[in-house]
Amino acid sequence: MKKIIFFSGSLNASGGTERVSTIIANQLSEKGYIIQFLSLYDGNDPFFPVNNEIKIDTLFDKKISFKKHYHKVVMKLRKYLQDNNVDILINIESMLALYSVPACIGINIRNICWEHFNFHVDLGLKLRKVARQVAALFCDDVVTLTETDKQFWISHTIHKAKITAIPNPASFELSKPRIAVKSKTVLAAGRLTYQKGFDLLLTAWALVIKSRQDWTLRIVGSGEEHDILRAQADSLGLNQFIQWIPHVCNMKEQYDDVDIYVMSSRFEGLPMVLLEAISTGLPLVSFDCKTGPKEIIDSSCGWLASDGDTTMLADKLLEAFNIFDDDDFYHQYSQSAINKCRLEFALEPILNRWVSLIDYEK
C-alpha cells in the first residue's frame, strides 16, 4: 500500500486547512494507506484529532527564517523523503511547493499541491503567486476545491500538472431537518481577521436591526481584529444585538443552537463553515465572493448577496427572517440544506475521488 505524507506548515494550527487535511488523512489511513504528517515547524501537537496509526513529524521544532535557511529546509526535506521511502507527497499549502519541488528532484515521488484558497488570493505573500506557477509547472498534480478555481489555474498558468477539482467534505454527520426557528439567532464564525469581513457584517447588521430587533447575531471567534470590531459594534450601537463568543473547539454545539448561518468573507476557497452549517440543516446567507459560496448555496437553501455589498447582505437577511416567520418554510430550507450536503459534500464520495486520484497511474 502506498506511503503518503501530508506536508503542512504546522499541524498545530487550528484553521480549516488543517481540519480538512486531518479528516482526509484519517480516512485514507482507515482504508489502509500508510499516512504520515510532516510539518515544516512546530507540528507535534495537532489541534485536530489524528488517528493513532498516523505518524507525526516536524522538520523544525520552532519557526525559523525560511528565507535565510531555504537550502537547509530543502535538503532536510529531501533527506526525510528519502529516509521514509515516500510514494506520494501532498503539500496542503501551495507555498510548500517552493520547498517540495526542488526536494523531489531525481526522486521517484509523486508531488501533489493541494490548494485551499482561490487562485487570485495571495494572503499578502507575493511569493504565493510564484509558488502556484512552480506547482503548476513542476508538481505532478494540483488539487483545487472548486471547478471555478480549477479554471483559474488552467487559464493563468503554464502547467504540466494534472489539475483536478475535489471539494472539501462536510465534517459532521448529517442532522435531521429543523422543524422551526427556535432562538432567532444568526451565527457567524471564524478568525477575527480582514479576510473574514466581520467589519462588513457589522455594517450590514446595523441595517438589519432597524427593522428586526427580535433577531440576535452571534459571532464566534478570536483574532487580531477583536478590539477593532468591538469598538465598531459599540459605535454602531449594536452591543445589545450581538453575542461575542471566543473561539471554541466544539462548533457543532454552536450550529445546533442557532437558526441561520451568515458569511461575510472577502475571499475563500471552499468555506468549511458553510459545509458544516448545511450538514446541520442551517439555511445560509453569504456574500458571493469569487470562489466557494456559489458552489454551495442555491435558492433552495439560502441567499447570495453581491460580493462586499453590505446593504444587499442586510436585505437578504431580512428576507430570510420574513420567510422564516412561517415554520413550514423554515423546515423546507433546512431539508434542502441537508439534501445539498448529502448529494454534493458527503465524506464518502469525496474520499472516493481522493482514492481515485492517489491510485491513478500516469
**Model confidence over 318-348: pLDDT tens digits?**
999 999 999 999 999 999 999 999 999 989 8
Find the range with the poorest average confidence among 18-32, 72-86, 122-136, 318-332: 122-136
pLDDT of amino acid 299: 97
Residue 172's pLDDT band, with cuts at 50, 70 and 90, is confident
Mean of pLDDT values over 144-154: 94
201 alpha carbon, distance to own chain's centre? 19
Three-state SS for 341? helix
pLDDT of 362 above 70: no
Are the C-beta atoms of 314 and 207 separated by less than 8 Å?
Answer: yes
Cell of 183: 432562538
How far from 85 is each of 30, 36, 65, 78, 154, CA to CA, in Å? Answer: 20, 12, 28, 11, 32
pLDDT of amino acid 63: 87
Three-state SS for 35? strand
For 273-308, give the DSSP string.
HHHHHHHTT--EEEE--SSSHHHH--TTTEEEE-TT
Which residues touch 152 (CB under 8 Å, ≥6 apart)?
A: 118, 119, 120, 144, 291
Mean of pLDDT values over 118-134: 89
Cell of 101: 519541488
Distance CA 264, CA 207 (A): 15
Distance CA 183, CA 255 (A): 12
Domains of the chain, each with CATH number or no CATH: 3-169+347-359 (3.40.50.2000), 185-344 (3.40.50.2000)
Are the C-beta atoms of 199 and 219 separated by less than 8 Å?
Answer: no
Antiparallel, parallel or unpaired: β 34-41 and 3-8: parallel
> Of the candidates 237, 228, 243, which has an alpha carbon nearest to the alpha carbon of residue 209?
237
Q: Would the pTM count as exceeding 0.95?
A: no
Residue 305's pLDDT band, with cuts at 50, 70 and 90, is very high
Distance CA 132, CA 97 (A): 8
> Of the candidates 98, 99, 137, 164, which has an alpha carbon nearest to the alpha carbon of residue 358?
164
Antiparallel, parallel or unpaired: β 260-263 and 185-189: parallel
Distance CA 219, CA 189 (A): 6
Which residues touch 67 (CB under 8 Å, ≥6 apart)?
A: none
